[in-house]
Chain A
Amino acid sequence: EIVMTQSPATLSVSPGEGATLSCRASQSVSSNLAWYQQKPGQAPRLLIYGASTRATGIPARFSGSGSGTEFTLTISSLQSEDFAVYYCQQYNNWPPLTFGGGTTVEIK
């Protein structure tokens, strides 16, 4: 099973600032990595797939990079609606499909 590790667990950011979230895989997942955003009481929403491709309707301030075992989600100029929990998910080696433990982006 591929273990996905996200860091930091919590990121405190002021509105308008940028944020960088990390996701590490226990073995290579190539570029088969997705990022999701989840707000309280809501289902996750797909942001990024293929490590760097934005999903339909996702603003350009969200960008993904990386391959192999190291991945980054960057949010430039955080808006109020961006404060949420972010999860990465690998889909290269399964079963099982696995998620990271999440990074909470909170208002500083």
Chain B
Amino acid sequence: QVQLVQSGAEVKKPGASVMFSCKASGYTFTGYYLHWVRQAPGQGLEWMGWINPNSGGTNYAQKFQGRVTMTRDTSISTAYMELSRLRSDDTAVYYCARASLTGYFPSYYFDYWGQGTLVTVSS
């Protein structure tokens, strides 16, 4: 069965960086885009960007350009997202989510989600 297993919770100070991981299993890792979506406490969902695990190509939301880097290691079916220059308003649960396919082409809605990683940014 498809699973996305994310790394554990983190506590960071303002200005630091954090690296998230998302290990995929149960499907061909390189066949589906992986997206990152975050959710601040009590708030809605915010899309951050995607990575194509096959090519390594990425597309980031403008809001996070310059602060976010998405990478992958196909040998261990794992995607990573690094967020730098953390601020208190980056406190949120960060999800990786697999984008579905329409035929052979990527779609942009999410059929499987990781369990989320809570990052708390506090001095």
Contact of A97 among B47, B95, B111 (CB under 8 A): B47
Contacts of B62 in A (CB 8 A): 95-96
When A and B form their complex, what is the total count of cross-chain residue pairs whose Cβ atoms lie within 8 Å? 58
Q: Do the beta carbons of B107 and A99 come within 8 Å of each other?
A: no
Which of B11-19, B73-81, B83-91, B113-121 lies on the face that meets chain A?
A: B113-121
Contacts of A95 in B (CB 8 A): 47, 49, 59-62
- A49-B100, A96-B63 known; A44+B47 contact, CB < 8 A: no
Q: What size tier do the contact residues of chain A reach?
A: 20 to 34
Please give the residue numbers on chain A whose beta carbons come within 8 Å of chain B beta carbons, in ascending order. 32, 34, 36, 43-46, 49, 55-56, 87, 89, 91, 94-102
What 8 pairs across the A-B complex have the smallest Cβ distances?
A91-B108, A43-B113, A34-B109, A97-B47, A99-B45, A96-B61, A49-B109, A101-B44
Please give the residue numbers on chain B whose beta carbons come within 8 Å of chain A beta carbons, in ascending order. 35, 44-47, 49, 59-63, 95, 97, 100, 107-111, 113-116
